[in-house]
Structure 1
Amino acid sequence: MKNLRIVFMGTPAFASHSLRVLHEAGANIVAVITAPDKPAGRGRKLTPSDVKQTAIELNIPVLQPEKLKNPDFLQELKSYKPDLQVVVAFRMLPEQVWNLPPKGTFNLHASLLPQYRGAAPINWAVINGETETGVSTFFLNHDIDTGNIIMQQKVAIEPEDDAGTVHDKLMETGARLVVETVKAIADDNIKPIPQERLTKDVELKSAPKIFKEDCKIDWNHRATKVHNRVRGLSPYPASWTEIETPDGKTTTMKIFKTMPRPSSDLKPGESRSDDKTYILVGTADGDLEIKELQLAGKKRMTSIDFLKGYNWQNGTVLK
């Protein structure tokens, strides 16, 4: 790997872990490309991305272009003479960028392609109740997430997992797969597989970007479906519902953890609580116990801690 000049591209923690592991494996990373610093926190202070912070720590030059087609950026990128580019959780690249290095540009995607192409593969795999997902490395081409697959590694989704824990599993597995892929490319020991071979007679599931309206809970769905949606959106962006507070006002409540319970006489959205240890909400075919929640303007907490300071009225309807 030391003979390959590598440019790494990425932004969040998921990518910075791959950067660190690749560096520790002895890869010759000559530059890192990441997003420009963005305002964050109450003071709106300009904050560098996780990838930039890691690159600085590792003493790797950092480029932060606003536009990837900017001639000055392209000239600077070419000056690093990359043999290979590695992309993890970054934006869409123009052809003059991904087609630059002689060894190509490969991306790490958090699914077993061709399944779950798109912006939110981790969330949708859990939302859909999958018991298995994984990571894939593939060469970039003109269309998003459709390039030839280089390597894949499966990862189990356990019943107790949510999007956060699956994210962490895939982050670890993905970093190792990036290293394996770079080593194989360096040794000219790859046989990329066109995704078209894997799509015949297979129903493809997509992973589009998730918006706020996608996160609202529909209590008229079956308990398992609501439960998986909560899991798949926890901890971020989080499922939410509307609730009428004891003072008659309507507010939002985020729900991070639930547990299916045997069916009762509760109607969809109708709730019951002992005001101490549990909150049950009816669905189309059974109840869900809310285990962790966050009322608007409050901290995330367990339902037990929440009930210590909140007078839950039986019959309260969640919408």
Structure 2
Amino acid sequence: MRIVFMGTPEFAVASLEALIDAGCEVVGVVTAPDKPAGRGQVLSESAVKKFAVANHIKVLQPEKLKDPAFIESLRALRADLQVVVAFRMLPEVVWNMPPLGTINLHASLLPQYRGAAPINWAVINGEKESGVTTFLLKHEIDTGNVLFTEKVTIPEDFTAGDLHDKLMNKGAGLLVKTVKAVESGKYTEQPQAQLAEGVSLKHAPKIFKDDCRIDWNNQVEQIYNRIRGLSPYPTAFTTLNGKTLKIFKAEKESGEVNDAPGSYSTDGKTYLKFAGTDGYVSLTDLQLEGKKRMGVEEFLRGYKVQ
């Protein structure tokens, strides 16, 4: 079975590597064009491209997915199946091309958390469970018939980065299972409309800067979960002495609050904590504008908090 793989970031590399290790015939990879990055604006290749080149797999990098030249090159690969992991929304002319269709790996238990940032929102919302889903692509994004799912637990101290790594590896295994099932024809499809019956759906839209700004007029649990859900990227932030302060990790302190929400206190040596409505959030891993990321004690040794 000839497979074309579509993906861009590190999350997708684990799945591509798993397919290769399982003996699948990946005849081509579609990934994002090289982009200028860093101070020198040097062209940077996607993680998927680097892996594909290292493994001698043909790479296509279209600017536009409806470009006739790209469509012709894609068709020339004669794929039986296309696999998508962390890539752009595909036009029908692309996802409907191979005879066995196009399958997608999504980092949630669909139909929950459809959208661009399922890992972040699951942690932000304090979920205790998440997972990965493989499904067949159709017109509306993340709505195709489900093939397989696998659940994972989310420990209370997990960040979005921790969950990303756990789902990346879990998803790679599930994708191989799915591809083998499609090849053998031994699988069933579950319409998401059936799975969604009587369920209150939560969504996972793209995260913008305003989503990262901490609102201290919330309960400590909500603030703590937002910090976890945005760490390490795009990172929750507040202000300290007029400068942006990114917060990567923190601890909860419940109890009586004698300070206004958003006010902070420190002993200048070991702690820096902000008040919420029902307790405090004590920062442990942070980065002040213009400074490097560091632990709170190192930060307080070199910076006088006014």
- Which category describes the TM-score, using the shorter chain as reference length? over 0.9
**Post-superposition offset of 1:103:** 0.6
Report the counterpart of residue 108 of structure 2 in structure 1.
111
For residues 218-272 of structure 1, give each alpha carbon's deviation from its aligned partner in whole angstroms, at most 9, with x where no partner exists: 000000000000000000000011121xxxxx11100111111132312211111
Say which of 269, 278, 298 aligns to 2:262. Answer: 269
Separation (CA, whole Å) in 1 of partners of 2:209 and 2:63: 26
> Per the alignment, in what secondary structure is the counterpart of residue 29 of structure 1?
strand
Runs of 5+ consecutive residues of structure 2 not aligned to the other structure? none
Structure-2-length-normalised TM-score: 0.99
Say which of 235, 240, 256 aligns to 2:248. Answer: 256
Asked if structure 2 preserves the Cα contact closer than 8 Å seen for 1:266 and 1:287, the reply is: no
* Aligned-CA RMSD value: 0.7
Q: How does 1:12-51 map to 2 (within 5 A)?
A: 12-51=9-48
Report the counterpart of residue 203 of structure 2 in structure 1.
206
Q: How does 1:146-165 map to 2 (within 5 A)?
A: 146-165=143-162
Asked if structure 1 preserves the Cα contact closer than 8 Å seen for 2:220 and 2:254, the reply is: no
Alignment-mate amino acid for residue 64 of structure 2: K
Separation (CA, whole Å) in 2 of partners of 1:105 and 1:262: 48
Separation (CA, whole Å) in 2 of partners of 1:280 and 1:93: 45
**Post-superposition offset of 1:17:** 1.3
Say which of 122, 127, 150 aligns to 1:125. Answer: 122
For residues 144-187 of structure 1, give each alpha carbon's deviation from its aligned partner in whole angstroms, at most 9, with x where no partner exists: 00000000000111011000000000000001111000000011
Deviates more, 1:230-239 or 1:17-26: 17-26
Alignment-mate amino acid for residue 259 of structure 1: E
Alignment-mate amino acid for residue 188 of structure 1: G
For residues 26-69 of structure 1, give each alpha carbon's deviation from its aligned partner in whole angstroms, at most 9, with x where no partner exists: 00000000010001111110111000000001110000011111
Asked if structure 1 preserves the Cα contact closer than 8 Å seen for 2:35 and 2:43, the reply is: yes
Structure-1-length-normalised TM-score: 0.95
Report the counterpart of residue 223 of structure 1 in structure 2.
220
Runs of 5+ consecutive residues of structure 1 not aligned to the other structure? 245-249, 314-319
**Identity over aligned pairs, percent:** 56
**Post-superposition offset of 1:312:** 2.1
Separation (CA, whole Å) in 1 of partners of 2:305 and 2:71: 59
Report the counterpart of residue 316 of structure 1 in structure 2.
none
> Per the alignment, in what secondary structure is the counterpart of residue 197 of structure 2?
coil
Separation (CA, whole Å) in 1 of partners of 2:297 and 2:22: 46
Asked if structure 2 preserves the Cα contact closer than 8 Å seen for 1:224 and 1:260, the reply is: yes
Q: How does 1:1-319 map to 2 (within 5 A)?
A: 4-244=1-241, 250-263=242-255, 264-313=257-306
Asked if structure 2 preserves the Cα contact closer than 8 Å seen for 1:292 and 1:300, the reply is: yes
> Per the alignment, in what secondary structure is the counterpart of residue 305 of structure 2?
coil
After superposing on structure 2, the runs of 4+ consecutive aligned residues of structure 1 that deviate more than 6 Å are: none
